[in-house]
Amino acid sequence: MLEIISLLCLLGSVLLLLLLSIIDLKTFLLPNIYVAPFALLAPIFHLTTDFYYLDLHGILLGGATGFLILYLIRAAGNKYYGQDSLGLGDVKLLGAGGLWLGYEGVLIAMTVGAFAGLIHGIVYALVIKLKTGKPYNIRRLVIPAGPGFALGIILVGGWMFKGHVITALYDLLP
């Protein structure tokens, strides 16, 4: 029974991350109504796996690490640019990701997500240049950060929890 709940938590989290990515690409927002359930599924998952991947301390440290590092980056960016450079939704998303991945995992997910955002930005700038024929000012590029961070969380979580998924699915087979 616990295997089913843990698998449903993982499936729900991936679906929420995909939904958040689509919303962020369209609106540049990460609504709390979807970030909160993503965060709440993490302790349920860890409880159903008997805290095999992270203990309570690791969960809380991961959440704090993801939130605080991105909050500090946001504060520095806002001061430097004089405007919002990163939304609070992104900060909350990485905090929630830390609840799933712990401090080491969320740092890797943040790095992967930033790299994915860089690639997204370069491709976007090239598409704009091809469509308009004018060079695009990469310094003023505005893209949502959430999809990159979601990709990082999914990749790191997939790597962390792959053994659990395989074992749980095998145990559920008749």
- Per residue in 89-115, pLDDT tens? 999 999 999 999 999 999 999 999 999
| Structural domain count, the chain | 1
Model confidence pLDDT, tens digit, residues 4-59: 999 999 999 999 999 999 999 999 999 999 999 999 999 999 999 999 999 999 99
- Residue 17 is predicted with a pLDDT of 98
pTM of the predicted protein model? 0.94
Give residue 128's domain range: 2-172
> 27 vs 43, 53, 87, 96, 142, CA distance in Å?
29, 34, 12, 20, 12
DSSP letter string, 106-164:
HHHHHHHHHHHHHHHHHHHHHHHHHHHSS---GGG----SHHHHHHHHHHHHHHHHHHH
Tell me the percentage of the chain whose pLDDT exceeds 70.
Answer: 99
> 6 vs 1, 148, 158, CA distance in Å?
9, 25, 13
Do 154 and 17 touch, CB atoms closer than 8 A? yes
Q: Which of residues 127 and 18 earns the better pLDDT score?
A: 18
Element (H, E) at 67: helix 56-81
